[in-house]
Structure 1
Amino acid sequence: MRRGPFRDGVFTSALHEPRTAVVLGRWLGGALLVCFLTGLTSHLLQNPPTWLAGMLPSRPVDGYRVTQGLHVISGVAAIPLTGAKLWTVYPRLFEWPPARSALHALERLGIAVLVAAVLLELFTGLLNTLQWYPWPFPFRQTHFWLGWLATGGLLVHLAVKAPLVARHWRRAQAPAVAGRRGFLASVGVAVGAVTLTTAGQTVPWLRAVDLLAPRRPGSGPRGLPVNRTAAQAGTVAVPADWQLEVDGPRPFRLTLAELRELPQYEAVLPIACVEGWSVSARWSGVRVADLLARAGAPPGSAVRVTSLEAEGPFRVMEMPAPYAEDPLTLLALALDDEVLSPDHGFPARIIAPNRPGVLQTKWVARIEVVR
C-alpha cells in the first residue's frame, strides 16, 4: 500500500474527471497552438533559412507587433490553464502501478515528456519577458526546440486520448458533476485577469489596466522603452569622426552632417520586441533603398548591417531584399524630430516595417550590399 499525499483515496474532489479535463484541454490546447505558431513566426523572421529570406514580407507594418503580442499573451494565458489542467488530472499522474504494460509505459513516458516540456517552455518564456536568464543554456535555441517537443508531445497525447476526448467532448454526453461550472468559471476569470493586466504592453486600449506586464509603454527616453542601453552595448562614446560606411559596387562614406543633407523621410513604425511589448513612434532619416542605389546595388540585393557595439548576438544583422527595398525602411537619424539619444541608437539606427526589435540595429557603423 502507498502512503503519503498520493495514497489511495486521497483524491476526493469530483472534479478530477474526464469532462473537466477535456474542457480545460481545449482551452489550453488553443493557447499552446497560438503560442507555437506565433513563436515559429518570430523564429523565422529572426533566423530565416536562405530559401525563405527573400520571400519574407515587409507589410503589414504591424505584422510582427501583432504576432509577437499574441505569442506572449497566449503564453501568459497558458500558465493558469496549465495549472488547472494538471490539478484536474494529477491523480492519474500518480496512479499505481506506474506501468501496467509496455504500451502503457510508453504512454506515461510521453505524458512525462509533454508535461516537462510545457512547464519548462512556459517558465523560461515568462522569465524572458523579464529579461532574466538564470540558466546556463542559450534561451532562443532552447525555447525553439522545447516548442517543437511540447507541440509534438501534445499531438501524440491527443492521438492516444482521442476516444476518451470524443466521449466527453459535448456537455450532453458527460454526467453532471457538482462544482464543475464554478471551477471552470473561476479558471476563466483567472485567465482573463492575467491577460487583461499584461496585454497592455502591446494592446494600446488595454494600457490603462497594464498592471502586471514587465514593460510599460511610454517609459524610457522619448516615451520609448529600451532593452539594451548604450552603456550595456559599450557605445556611450561615439567617435567624433564617425562616418557611415556603405559597401557595394560603388562604395562611399558619409558623415552625420552629410547624411542630414540628403533627402529626409518620415515613417511611423513600431518597435516590437520579443518580450511582447511594442510602441509606435515617428522616425525620420534616409531611405536605405536610396543608400543602396547610390552604392550601385543591383535590384533584389540584401544588406548586412554592422553596429558599433563591441559584441552581442545581433551586432551584425542581415536584412533581406524585401525590407531593404521598402520605402519605409530608414536609416533613422531622429525620433519625433529630435536627434536620437544614445540609448535609441545615436548617431543612426535601422527602422523597418514588420521586423523584430532585435533586428532594428542601433549605432550603425556599416551597411554592406550582399546578394
Structure 2
Amino acid sequence: MDRESTRAGGRIAAAVSAKLLDAAHSPARGTRLSVVIGRWLALTFAVCLVTGFYSHLLQDPSTWPGVTFSRPAWLYAVTQSVHIVAGTVSIPLLLGKLWAVYPELLRWPPVTSVLHGLERVSIAVLVSASLVEVTIGVINTFQWYPWPFPFRETHFALAWVILGSLLIHVAVKYPKIAAHWRGSRAASAPEAGRARRRVLALVGTAAVAAFVGTASENVPAVRALAVFTPRRPGRGSQGLAVNRTAEAAGVALPADAADWRLRVVVGERVSEFSLAELAARPQAERSLPIACVEGWVQDAAWGGVPLAALLEAAGASAGDVVVESLERAGNYRMTILPERFAWDPLTLVALRLGGEPLSLDHGFPARLIAPGRPGVLQTKWLAELRVITGGKA
C-alpha cells in the first residue's frame, strides 16, 4: 500500500510539474538565452570577485601583504568603484538568468542521476549565495545592517562559495555552454529568436540603467542620474561626505584641543606632539581621494605633516605602524598601516582639509591620509602611532 501511495504521489507531482512547465513556457526561454545572459553575468561576477578580494586584502594586511599597493594613489578608488558598479549591474543580469532557467526548477523528478544531482546542488548553492551576496552588498552601500552577522566577513565567505559553485556549475554544463556559445538564428524558430532578443533588450536596458545609476556619480554633468548611490561628492562637512560622525563614534573634544597629544611609540621611546607642535613642523599639501567600501569616491586637498618625517623625528627608520584612534569602540578604532603605506611620501598626518582645520567629523585634531587605502582605514581622531618593526631606540 505504501509503495502504491508513493507511486501515486509521484504521478501527481509529475502532473503538477507538467502543468507548471506549460504555464512557464515562453519561446524566449532556452539554453541559448541562458548562455548569452550567463556569460555577461560571469564577467560581472569575475570583476566583483577580483576587486572584492583586493579590498579584503587591504583591510587584512596580514594576508598576502605583498599584493597591496600604495601607488597609484587612485588604485583603490578605481577598484572599489568598479566593484560597486559591476555588483549593481549584475542584479538585472542575475534576475534575467533566473527567469531563463526557471522552468528547469519545475521538472520532475528533480534528480535523475548523480551528475544531475551535482548540477542541481551547485545551482541551488550558486543561486542562493548570489542572491544573498548582491542583496547585502546593496544594503551595505547605505550603511544599514539589519542582520546579526558581520557584513565584511560574510560577504567575503560568500564570494568563495559563489566561486566554487560557479566552477562546478560551468564544468557540469560545459557541453551545453560550448554548443550554444555562438548560436545562430537559423538554429531556432524565428518566433523564438525574436522573443529572445526582446528579453535580451530588456535585461540589457536594465543593466545599462544600473551602470548609469552608479558610474555617473563622479561625472558632474550627469551626477543626478546616480540614483543607486547614497553619497554625493561635494556634500557633507567641509564639502566632503562623512560616513561615521564624531557623535556616532563617541568622540568629543574641546574646540582648541589644548590637552590633546599624538603619541608616537618606537620601541621603548615615546614621543608626544601637541597640535601646535605638529602645525609648526614642515607642512605638505596632498590631493588624495577618499574611497570608501560603499563605492563613493571624492578627491580632496589635504594638508599636514608627512608621516614618514614624523616617524623619523620619533626615532623610526622603517616598519609597519599600528594606528589607534580616540574612538572608544568600533571595528576600525585600531588598524595596521603596512610599511609601504606608512613610509610613502604622500601619506600625511592630516591637520587641514581644503585649506581649513579639520572639522570634528573629519577627524580633528588629526587624521591619517594615505594613498590607495579604503576610507575606513584612513583613521580619524588620531591618538597613537606605534612602529612595530624596524624601529630604533
Please report the TM-score for the alignment, with normalisation by the length of structure 1: 0.95
Instruction: Name the CA distance, whole Å, in 2 between partners of 1:204 and 1:75.
Output: 22
Aligned to 2:301: 282
Matched, 1:196 2:183: no
Matched, 1:37 2:50: yes
Aligned to 1:233: 249
Instruction: Name the CA distance, whole Å, in 1 between partners of 2:336 and 2:56.
Output: 14
Q: Deviations over 1:262-311 (max 9, x none)?
A: 00100000000000001000000001000111111133x11111000000
Aligned to 1:187: 203
Pair member with larger Rg? 2
Matched, 1:65 2:83: no
Answer yes or no: is the 8 Å Cα contact 2:275–2:365 preserved in 1.
yes
Aligned to 1:175: 188
Residue type at the aligned position of 2:367: R
Answer yes or no: is the 8 Å Cα contact 2:18–2:107 preserved in 1.
no
Q: Secondary structure at the match of 1:14?
A: coil
Aligned to 1:150: 162
Using the TM superposition, give the Cα deviation of residue 211 of structure 1 relative to its aligned residue in structure 2, in angstroms.
2.7
Instruction: Name the CA distance, whole Å, in 2 between partners of 1:240 and 1:310.
Output: 20
Aligned to 1:252: 271
Answer yes or no: is the 8 Å Cα contact 1:43–1:144 preserved in 2.
yes
The 10-residue stretch of structure 1 (7-16 or 118-127) with the greater mean CA deviation from structure 2: 7-16
Q: Deviations over 1:36-64 (max 9, x none)?
A: 110001000111235x3255321000000
Indicate how the Cα distance of structure 1 residues 324 and 19 shifts in structure 2: closer, same or farther if over 3 A, else same. Answer: same
Indicate how the Cα distance of structure 1 residues 143 and 243 shifts in structure 2: closer, same or farther if over 3 A, else same. Answer: same
Answer yes or no: is the 8 Å Cα contact 1:6–1:94 preserved in 2.
no
Aligned to 2:134: 122
Using the TM superposition, give the Cα deviation of residue 335 of structure 1 relative to its aligned residue in structure 2, in angstroms.
0.3
Aligned-residue Cα RMSD (Å) equals: 1.7
Aligned to 1:9: 22
Q: Secondary structure at the match of 2:290?
A: strand
Using the TM superposition, give the Cα deviation of residue 8 of structure 1 relative to its aligned residue in structure 2, in angstroms.
4.0
Answer yes or no: is the 8 Å Cα contact 2:71–2:371 preserved in 1.
yes
Using the TM superposition, give the Cα deviation of residue 242 of structure 1 relative to its aligned residue in structure 2, in angstroms.
0.5
Answer yes or no: is the 8 Å Cα contact 1:54–1:322 preserved in 2.
no
Aligned to 2:6: none
Q: Secondary structure at the match of 1:122?
A: helix
Indicate how the Cα distance of structure 1 residues 205 and 171 shifts in structure 2: closer, same or farther if over 3 A, else same. Answer: farther
| 1:262-281 to 2 correspondences below 5 Å | 262-281=281-300
Q: Deviations over 1:294-352 (max 9, x none)?
A: 111133x1111100000000000100111111111000000011010010000000000
Residue type at the aligned position of 1:42: S
Indicate how the Cα distance of structure 1 residues 55 and 111 shifts in structure 2: closer, same or farther if over 3 A, else same. Answer: closer
Specify which of 317, 322, 325 is matched with residue 304 of structure 1.
322
Structure with bigger helix share is 2
Specify which of 87, 90, 98 is matched with residue 78 of structure 1.
90
Aligned to 2:335: 317
Q: Which runs of 5+ in 2 are unaligned?
A: 1-11
Using the TM superposition, give the Cα deviation of residue 151 of structure 1 relative to its aligned residue in structure 2, in angstroms.
1.3
Answer yes or no: is the 8 Å Cα contact 1:267–1:283 preserved in 2.
yes
Aligned to 1:18: 31
Q: Secondary structure at the match of 1:267?
A: strand
Superposed structure 1 runs of 4+ greater than 6 Å apart: none
Instruction: Name the CA distance, whole Å, in 2 between partners of 1:6 and 1:330.
Output: 67
Matched, 1:217 2:216: no
